[in-house]
């Protein structure tokens, strides 16, 4: 009896250590138990020390330095107006440049990933008058003129502007038509791949509007069916250019308000060759001013910055850059004194910042070295400083820096290792630093321009306590060399507890792997962190490896997958699985892989090409053949199927369906406007033709993110059960159940 009692006393601490409250799918995806607190978006004011935020039906003002409320900018309850459709609520707002007027948005509807339409109202702070912007259909991208006297906007594919003093609305274009002509807004593929939605810009003096016109008449259409309980499905049809198909013909125009004259920008285009105009921006007044257009050829390996004369539309060359692979798109940051601009380029083999004058001559390399600039925050011209984010110390981490406009005096603003992002005030005197690690939820702090922390905003202490309460395992980084002597970075979560000691455990590998992406970052992973931790508590080893083609390690590492997407990446994931199989706590016969979008493409291809290594695969919204994806993204990395037939044939999952030997779960949303359900339908056809058994799930009315209602918890319940049955369950005797 004494021996048994002593043994129980000895085991009691271990029991307490591993008897924490379990992590559940309901807590992750339904109850919001593990949700971290953010800080409200900082709408900084011109003085650089105050910001505003939306609070119910009011706009409140706060002092960034103290966090104290310092004013009430707008209160809907005090506004007296007879404006049609104003109900006293709004969901967003923007100020005019001088902060004298506010644009309020109501009844906002999303369109695609970035686009939306709303009803807009204008509030004049001096007169306290609220007026409706437009009496017709909902508007898109309402935008103040520089002096705040006018607002330009898009309605049903045409560009308008309103003079706020007179109330007069002028229609700039008249030929807009759904699925044919778009003025002042972008088409689907520009929005998705170039992140361009508002395709018009006011000139600095407010005398002109520059805009892009998309003629998508010849672009093939895509139709999705929505099931909302009616007698027949509702069809949603939109233009979507797939690989090698016709893109919209994009032209640039300059409209002069005083004369109502429209001038076409004369672009030096090669007849019969497609190209892109992904950015327009007015230069500041100076010796060489005008409208700057970013031009790229269809292969996206040649880029020009062209300056257009507003009066004639004639263009001249400002910058010309080519690349043997492809070029990433960046914004041009013009200096307000008209002396030049800041430009990002990989011409050294790593992404760095350069200063150019307005003749197109490089003045200074602001950054240099075998490391990457990963974000440009802006320029404080008064003090001659540029602020940016970089992976200067470690490709898996991010730091914040400043450097002088002559390229000297680079200074690190952050201290802790991990992920740092910033939002700077309008004067760059202060910034809000968001910091996290892969094991630490986000923390927010106000810092001065030197990086000194002035006050903490949010540290998410309750979530950190939940980590202890739920007994999470530490996420560990590792690296290994492949058989080709390539060093790859990864992270891993190992099950904790004596019940797993000496066991051979199943492995789930998580993958994305697309060009320039990174998953192996020292950064909080949100809800996926908790799902991975839940799987670890159930006895899974969870791992992730960044393959060749991913970011943070220079141009050659990123672009070596050019023309052969999937080849090296899949090889690396297979090698990573083999490496995992050599670890003493891993069962090499139970290795699975899961991915979404590009990751679904990778998990599918890895399961098929690595059939002797991977036993189970889950693919959510996967690309299954690149010929069915959009023109801009795919051709950037693969060119067209006609130009590169072998690259397409060698690395499309549909071509390897007959190789399936493991367990395969294929998931897609029927309303996915990005990776169309066509990919899963065609993959299904190939699997059936090869008489291969697999599992599948479709989500009607759900887009690429498969959200809304109970879709997320349904999806993760499905995937968890599939893994328990097909991966963990294939070797039940090897694992002691928790």
The 10 Å CB-count burial string (b at 16+, else e) for 100-132 is bbbbbbbeeeeebeebbbbbbbbbeeeeeebbb
> Residue 531 domain-assigned?
yes
pLDDT digit string, tens, across residues 76-90: 999 989 899 899 999
Which residues, 6+ apart, have CB-to-CB distance to 180 below 8 Å? 215, 216, 217
Tens-digit pLDDT profile for residues 91-142: 999 999 999 999 999 999 999 999 999 999 999 999 999 999 999 999 999 9
In a domain, 398, yes or no: no
Active site residues: 597, 672, 704
Domain that holds residue 687: 474-731
Q: How far is CA 483 from CA 452, 479, 513, 574, 617, in A?
A: 46, 13, 19, 11, 23
Listed residues 268, 293, 320: the one ending a domain: 320
From the CB of residue 276, how many other CB atoms can be counted at a distance below 10 Å?
A: 23
Counting Cα atoms < 13 Å in the Cβ hemisphere of 450 gives 2
The tens digit of pLDDT for each residue in 474-486 reads: 999 999 999 999 9
Last residue of a domain, one of 320, 347, 367: 320
What pLDDT is attached to residue 287?
76
Number of C-beta neighbours around residue 322 at 10 A: 11
Measured CA distances, 448 to 410, 426, 428, 519, 632 (Å): 16, 13, 8, 30, 40
pLDDT at 18: 47
Per-residue model confidence as pLDDT tens digits over 581-629: 999 999 999 999 999 999 999 999 999 999 999 999 999 999 999 999 9
Q: Which tens digits make up the pLDDT trace of 160-189?
A: 999 999 999 999 999 999 999 999 999 999
Instruction: Give the C-alpha separation, 462 to 100, whole Å.
Output: 40
Q: Which helix (H) or strand (E) holds 560?
A: none
568 located within any domain: yes
pLDDT for residue 311: 96
Of the three residues 286, 320, 354, the one that is the final residue of a domain is 320
CATH number at residue 619: 3.40.50.1820
Give residue 14's pLDDT. Answer: 44
Assess if residue 687 is contained within a domain. Answer: yes
Mean pLDDT value across residues 526-548: 98
Let me know: does 238 contact 179? Beta carbons within 8 Å: yes
pLDDT confidence of residue 600: 98
Q: How many domains does the chain have?
A: 2
CA atoms of 330 and 279, how far apart (whole Å): 9
Q: Which two tokens stand for residue 458?
A: 């949010």
User: C-alpha angle 338/344/350, rounded to 5°?
Assistant: 155
Please identify which residue in the block is written with the tokens 């030997």: 661
| Interatomic CA distance for residues 41 and 711, integer angstroms | 27
How many angstroms separate the Cα of 573 from the Cα of each of 609, 638, 727? 10, 20, 18
Q: Is the pLDDT of residue 736 over 50?
A: no
In the chain, the N- to C-terminal Cα span, in Å, equals 27
DSSP type of residue 248: P
pLDDT at 8 over 80: no
Strand ranges (DSSP E) for 314-439? 315-322, 333-334, 340-345, 352-357, 362-365, 372-380, 385-391, 399-404, 411-412, 419-424, 430-437
Gap between the Cα atoms of 23 and 1, Å rounded: 36
Output the average pLDDT for the chain: 94
Q: Residues of the chain with pLDDT > 70: what percent?
A: 96
- Residue 19 is predicted with a pLDDT of 56
669 occurs within a structural domain: yes
CA dist., res. 336 & res. 353, Å (int): 18
pLDDT above 80: residue 521: yes
In a domain? residue 405: no
- Decide if 370 contacts 350 (C-beta within 8 A): yes
DSSP letters spanning 499-511: GGTT--EEEEEEE
In this structure, is residue 1 part of a structural domain? no
Note the pLDDT tens digit of each residue in 198-223: 999 999 999 999 999 999 999 999 99
pLDDT at site 1: 35
Alpha helix ranges (H) inside 20-127: 25-29
- DSSP per residue, 200-223: EEE-TTSSEEEEEEEE-TTSPEEE
Q: Please tell me the predicted confidence (pLDDT) of residue 5.
A: 37
3 state DSSP class of 558: helix
Local structure of residue 525 (DSSP, 8 states): -
More confident residue, 40 or 339: 339
What per-residue confidence (pLDDT) applies to 271? 73
Give the number of residues written for the chain: 738
Residue 370 lies in a domain: no
Q: What is the structure's pLDDT at 20?
A: 78
Is the pLDDT at 151 greater than 70? The verdict is: yes
């Amino acid at each position: 009896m004494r021996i048994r009692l002593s043994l129980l006393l000895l085991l009691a601490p271990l029991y307490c250590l591993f008897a924490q409250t379990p992590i559940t799918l309901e807590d992750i995806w339904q109850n919001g138990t593990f949700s971290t607190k953010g800080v409200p978006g900082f709408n900084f004011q011109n003085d650089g020390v105050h910001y505003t935020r939306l609070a119910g039906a009011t706009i409140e003002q706060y002092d960034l330095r103290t966090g104290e409320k310092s004013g009430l900018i707008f209160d809907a309850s005090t506004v007296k107006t007879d404006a049609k459709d104003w109900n006293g609520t709004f969901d967003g707002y923007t100020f005019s440049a001088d902060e004298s007027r506010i644009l309020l948005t109501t009844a906002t509807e999303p369109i695609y990933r970035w686009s939306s339409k709303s009803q807009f109202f204008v509030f004049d702070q001096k007169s306290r008058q609220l007026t409706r912007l437009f009496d017709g259909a909902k508007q898109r991208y309402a935008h103040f003129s520089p002096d705040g006297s006018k607002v330009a906007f898009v309605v049903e594919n045409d560009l308008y502007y309103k003079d706020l003093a007179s109330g007069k609305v002028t229609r700039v274009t008249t030929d807009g038509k759904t699925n044919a002509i778009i003025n002042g807004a972008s088409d689907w593929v520009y929005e998705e791949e170039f992140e361009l939605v508002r395709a018009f810009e006011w000139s600095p003096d407010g005398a002109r509007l520059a805009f892009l016109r998309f003629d998508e008449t010849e672009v093939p259409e895509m139709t999705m069916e929505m099931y909302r309980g009616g007698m027949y499905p509702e069809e949603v049809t939109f233009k979507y250019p797939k690989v090698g198909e016709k893109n919209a013909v994009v032209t640039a125009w300059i409209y002069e308000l005083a004369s109502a004259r429209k001038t076409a920008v004369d672009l030096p285009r090669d007849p019969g060759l497609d190209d892109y105009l992904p950015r327009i921006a007015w230069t500041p007044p100076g010796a060489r001013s005008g409208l700057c257009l970013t031009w790229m050829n269809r292969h996206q390996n040649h880029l020009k910055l062209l300056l257009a004369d507003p009066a004639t539309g004639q263009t001249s060359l400002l910058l010309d850059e080519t690349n043997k692979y492809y070029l990433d798109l960046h914004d041009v940051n013009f200096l307000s004194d008209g002396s030049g601009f800041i430009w990002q380029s990989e011409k050294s083999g790593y992404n760095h910042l350069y200063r150019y004058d307005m003749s197109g001559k490089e003045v200074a390399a602001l950054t240099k070295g075998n490391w990457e600039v990963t974000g440009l925050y802006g320029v404080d011209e008064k003090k001659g400083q540029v602020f940016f984010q970089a992976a200067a110390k470690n490709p898996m981490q991010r730091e914040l820096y400043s450097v002088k406009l002559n390229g000297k005096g680079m200074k690190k603003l952050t201290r802790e290792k991990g992920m740092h992002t910033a939002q700077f005030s309008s004067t760059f005197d202060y910034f809000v630093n968001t910091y996290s690690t892969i094991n630490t939820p986000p923390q927010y702090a106000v810092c001065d321009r030197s990086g000194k922390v002035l006050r903490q905003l949010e540290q998410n202490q309750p979530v950190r306590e939940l980590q202890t309460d739920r007994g999470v395992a530490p996420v560990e980084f590792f690296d290994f060399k492949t058989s080709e002597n390539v060093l790859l970075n990864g992270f891993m979560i190992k099950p904790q507890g004596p019940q797993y000691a000496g066991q051979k455990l199943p492995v789930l590998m998580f993958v994305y792997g697309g060009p320039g992406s990174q998953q192996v970052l020292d950064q909080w992973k949100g809800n996926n962190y908790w799902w991975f931790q839940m799987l670890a508590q159930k006895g899974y080893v969870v791992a992730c490896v960044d393959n060749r083609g991913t970011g943070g390690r220079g141009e050659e590492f990123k672009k070596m997958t050019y023309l052969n997407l999937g080849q090296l990446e899949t090889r690396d994931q297979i090698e990573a699985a083999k490496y995992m199989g050599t670890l003493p706590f891993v069962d090499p016969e139970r290795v699975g892989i899961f991915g979404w979008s590009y990751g679904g493409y990778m998990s599918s291809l890895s399961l098929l090409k690595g059939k002797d290594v991977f036993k189970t695969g889950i693919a959510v919204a996967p690309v299954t053949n690149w010929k069915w994806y959009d023109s801009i993204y795919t051709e950037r990395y693969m060119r067209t199927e006609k130009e590169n037939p072998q690259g397409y044939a060698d690395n499309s999952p549909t071509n390897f369906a007959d190789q399936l030997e493991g367990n395969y779960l294929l998931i897609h949303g029927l309303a996915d406007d990005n990776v169309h359900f066509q990919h899963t339908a065609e993959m299904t056809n190939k699997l059936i033709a090869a008489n291969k058994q697999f599992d599948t799930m479709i989500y009607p009315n759900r887009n690429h993110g498969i959200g809304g209602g109970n879709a997320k918890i349904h999806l993760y319940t499905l995937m968890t059960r599939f893994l328990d049955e097909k991966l963990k369950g294939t070797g039940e005797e090897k694992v002691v159940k928790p």
